[in-house]
Structure 1
């Protein structure tokens, strides 16, 4: 299913404001055919593409993202902190991002950002939106550091391609992957060991690593079986995009 070696991180976070439509377009313009973005829950059940727990770093707003009202988030400037060139760029809703990605013909790795235990407040809404507005199952992977979120995804739709996310791969990774019939395992490239990579591949899973912006630092990982790298700048991996 995964038909690329390069996935743009938060769109293309070094080329345009992360997790914006501009960043998604920048990834496509750079030659990436897949992007990774983050979906977060805001007030009144809204779903937006945003990474942080607070608005401060990436917008001209402040305070917890979870408490922000949809009408207020729609007015935020998510581009000026990156560059004046992107002044006025908005925080997209999940639906806006899905429409943009599909219009560009891209594959999507959608990460569910949710640190709390109440996954029932975000997962069903995300899954319903994907059911209604995402067309090609083979071009979608749902990932999360929150394993309970992935469990609920699996309960709602066992046919989706799911992926546990890890900084450090735990000893019970295979048990977790098997329980949700995971498609891939996603991990921090710098903490991955060769035996872990070989175990993941031997068990039949795709191996996707994040977040590298220098091709040289991940060169050995291709030999270990890594299937794709998530990067802030797809142009750094232009030779892999061309292939």
Structure 2
């Protein structure tokens, strides 16, 4: 069994209001936390803000509770309105990327997921044909440049990830300084192709993509139940890449994946390693 790095998903969204400064501070204070995962996209002015959904009221189920008390598309909303929006019925508000990075000590890393550059046309989870690479890179590059500008003063470890090849292409175009990771949805082969194309340091598959685990017999994140056709852990390790698996919610899932030899576990809750 390995001892995987624990990556706090949105600052352990299972116990604190996700992607808020409070969540980040509390996650960073836990000894087990190696890295904190956050989601970034632009406000109307282009300033990177830390929020997951494309709409401020939310597009994913959170037990019937809206994401914030404000409505509208994130990248069409003024920054002041976004940063005053209260998250999930609490007094916590949507922060800027700069505010979140200020809350993370340099001893804890930050996984910045490039969620959206400000468009509905994402080409999510695709390995793009050659004739689309430049176009998708250009779509992402202005926002990636803004995000990198904000990240420059941060002294801790930074890892940039995305489900969108265009984001990784833009990051590699702008600078080779930072580590990158491809997030995988329902196409493991595409994930490996993109990781090799941009020499990503890591690959982030869903929790049921790891061959030989009980989780591989369950349906999740677009992957069907049953043995995965590709051993993404074996292939990624053969390529020298780190494998960080998302999103883990129970100690038994953590134990299953740690036994399989993954390098990192993106966790919804703290304390899963002590099950």
For 1:72 and 1:203, how far apart are their aligned partners in 2? Answer: 45
Structure 2 unmatched runs, 5+ = 58-65, 123-135, 213-230
The aligned counterpart of 1:93 is 96
1:73, distance to aligned residue in structure 2 (A): 1.1
Instruction: Give how far 1:14 is off.
Output: 1.2
Give the secondary-structure state (helix, strand or coil) at the position aligned to 2:176.
coil
- C-alpha change, 1:198 and 1:65, in structure 2 (3 Å) is same
Which residue does the alignment assign to 2:154?
A: 134
**Partner residue of 2:268 out of 227, 232, 239:** 232
Distance in 1 between residues matched to 2:166 and 2:43, nearest whole Å? 19
Post-superposition Cα deviations, 1:197-238, rounded to whole Å, max 9, x if no partner, equal: 111111110000000111212433323320010111112224
Residues 1:218 and 1:207: Cα distance change in structure 2 (over 3 Å)? same
Deviations 1:35-74 (A, max 9, x none): 1011111101121000001111311001111111001112
Q: Give, in whole Å, the separation in 2 of the partners of 1:29 and 1:120.
A: 33
In the alignment, structure 1 segments of 5+ residues that lack a partner are: 81-86
Quick check: which one's helix share is greater? 1
TM-score by length of 1: 0.86
Residue 145 in 1 paired to residue 163 in 2?
A: yes
* 1:171 CA drift (Å): 1.8
Q: CA-atom RMSD, angstroms?
A: 1.9
Matches within 5 A, 1:21-36: 21-31=21-31, 32-36=33-37
Q: Map of 1:1-243 to 2, 5 A cutoff?
A: 5-31=5-31, 32-56=33-57, 57-80=66-89, 87-102=90-105, 105-114=107-116, 116=122, 117=136, 118-131=139-152, 133-136=153-156, 139-194=157-212, 195-238=231-274
Whole-angstrom distance in 2 between the partners of 1:16 and 1:174: 33
- Tell me if structure 2 keeps the 8 A contact 1:169–1:187: no
CA–CA distance in structure 1, aligned partners of residues 210 and 70 of structure 2: 36
Evaluate the alpha carbon distance shift between residue 169 and residue 219 of structure 1 in structure 2; reply closer, same or farther with a 3 A threshold. Answer: farther
Q: Distance in 2 between matches of 1:126 and 1:149?
A: 11
Secondary structure of the equivalent of 1:44?
coil
